[in-house]
Amino acid sequence: MDLVIRDAEVVDGTGGPSYRADVGIQGGRITTVLREGAAAGCLRPLARRVLDAEGLALSPGFIDMHAHSDLALLRDPDHSAKAAQGVTLEVIGQDGLSYAPVDDRTLAEVRSTITGWNGPGDDIDFGWRSVGEYLDRLDHGFDGEGIAVNAAYLIPQGTVRMLAVGWDDRPATARELERMRRLVADGMREGAVGMSSGLTYTPGMYAQDAELTELCRVVAEYGGYYCPHHRSYGAGALAAYEEMVALTREAGCPLHLAHATMNFGVNEGRAPELLALLDDALAAGADISLDTYPYTPGCTTLVAMLPSWASEGGPEAILTRLKDEDTAERVRHHMEVTGADGCHGVPIEWDTIEISGVTDPALASYVGSTVRQSADRLGESSWTTARRLLLDDRLGPTILQHVGHEENVRAIMRHRVHTGGSDGILRGDKPHARAYGTFPQYLGKYVRELGVLSLEECVAHLTGRPAARLRLPDRGLVREGYRADLVLFDPATVAAGSTFEEPRRLPTGIPYVLIDGRFVIEDGRRTDVLAGRAVRRTPR
């Protein structure tokens, strides 16, 4: 064999008890799992290389069910932000906004819209237009070798609406809806695993339920799932969850709830209500899963906080409205008094909005401070500061939003359909710590330190369960015949290195990560291996 990992404590991704075993790898797949004592008298497997795993746990590679590495995978061959965490597969195309399918017009618009997530993309050759071409580009990666980790893609419903409808806040016509159905069908045939929405982001939020239901029917026909960032995580959170459950039940489409949190003061302590809603739906036959990150603050763009009416027409229309004094005052009143839909129906609290990144280096002094702190320093109102930032940085600022509740985080991660997702935005001077720390944070803080989950449960949440949602028949378990996407970590020391003060510090206690049997992390260091590829939907 190519490699034998000897005397590992195997946590196999099923949730069952761990066991000691030798694991053999040949040609990128697991060929042997020889449990200790299971074959007394048999020769131990031999290989060209033997790795002594004494004291280490061996698990399947972690699957990040909510990633924003759409351009990072093409920009950074190292990509240690994820590889060093033990992530071997990321699901991208999230929140209804990404870079395929597009035409020339919508590519320019989406690049501007999510500059805060992925940067402007001036360093990227956008030679693709379709989903299939984008996946081919990921396969090619760097000089034809590949990318740092594997990637699966969700068709972004907001981008699809840009193509077919534009930025108008109105129902789609029958002709436009049919075009969207074709675009989604094309993307599914080309290998997407499902469809995402950002229903607090324009223009995806302008879609009515009937339109979303029709698109979900198409997704279901091809064996995919729907992953909505739904219409409210604040004042209307429970109603928004109910809406998604009902919509997908009508469409006959599996549902995966993105970053399923209960945030803002109105939802403190209300996670049990969400979980009861999900349990009732599951008992009635619904196919539901969810992902969360193990932190309380959220992360998005500052422009996302605006009311939807202020975003109609796209990025240039937003900037025009912000420049007009009377319109800007209407925006302020909506955000600070009424509660904008962009801020989940809750009046914005500027002392919870921390600037985490800007596009223009001249504005770097705002990073690391809340909008209110910067405003106080400048002797002006918080809205004046926020408005100037949006204009001067051309909608580029990213933010941390400190509105979460620890008891909700812990309750939701215990649920039987829970999976892990970083929601990690990698851009900015001070990104969210979750981008570099989500998976070791689960293993270190919530398993070892707090005991919220057992080690076996947690690994299943991060491996076997998401692989099942993605319908991957040969990933997510330590099992003979499966791909050798594997992580070796020390349960006694694994921990997130990233903090909110130093968010790009790499984790500790994860010395080895393999993709297709090749070491991408070896002795705690990133190798030059580019074993990642696009993981396409498995046909029914």
Q: What is the mean pLDDT of each run of 10 residues along the chain (540 residues)?
A: 96 98 97 82 80 97 98 97 98 98 97 93 96 97 95 98 96 98 98 97 96 98 97 94 98 98 94 98 98 95 93 92 97 94 93 94 95 97 97 94 96 98 92 97 98 98 98 97 98 97 97 98 98 89
Task: With beta carbons less than 8 A apart as the criterion, state whether 397 and 357 touch.
Answer: yes
Degrees, nearest 5: CA angle 321-322-325: 90
Rounded Cα distance, 180 and 164, in Å: 6
Residue 343 DSSP symbol = G
Beta bridge partners of 532: 147
Task: With beta carbons less than 8 A apart as the criterion, state whether 439 and 420 touch.
Answer: yes
**Which own/partner pairs from 377-381 qualify as long-range (CB within 8 Å, at least 24 positions apart)?**
none
Residue ranges of domains in the chain, CATH in brackets: 64-296+404-475 (3.20.20.140), 301-401 (no CATH)
Half-sphere CA count of 141, side-chain side, radius 13 A: 21
The secondary structure of 378-392 as a DSSP string is: HTS-HHHHHHHHHHH
> pLDDT value at position 540?
65
Q: How many CB atoms lie within 10 A of CB 415?
A: 20
Q: How many CB atoms lie within 10 A of CB 323?
A: 11
Rounded Cα distance, 267 and 269, in Å: 6
Whole-model pTM? 0.95
> pLDDT value at position 262?
93
The secondary structure of 195-213 as a DSSP string is: EEEETTSTTGGG--HHHHH
Rounded Cα distance, 195 and 255, in Å: 10
Task: With beta carbons less than 8 A apart as the criterion, state whether 494 and 502 touch.
Answer: no
Looking at residue 226, its amino acid is: Y
Query: Longest Cα pair distance anywhere in the chain, in angstroms?
Result: 84
Rounded Cα distance, 116 and 297, in Å: 17
> pLDDT value at position 42?
66
Helix axes of 174-189 and 209-221: crossing angle, nearest 10 degrees: 30
Task: With beta carbons less than 8 A apart as the criterion, state whether 332 and 388 touch.
Answer: no
Rounded Cα distance, 74 and 499, in Å: 26
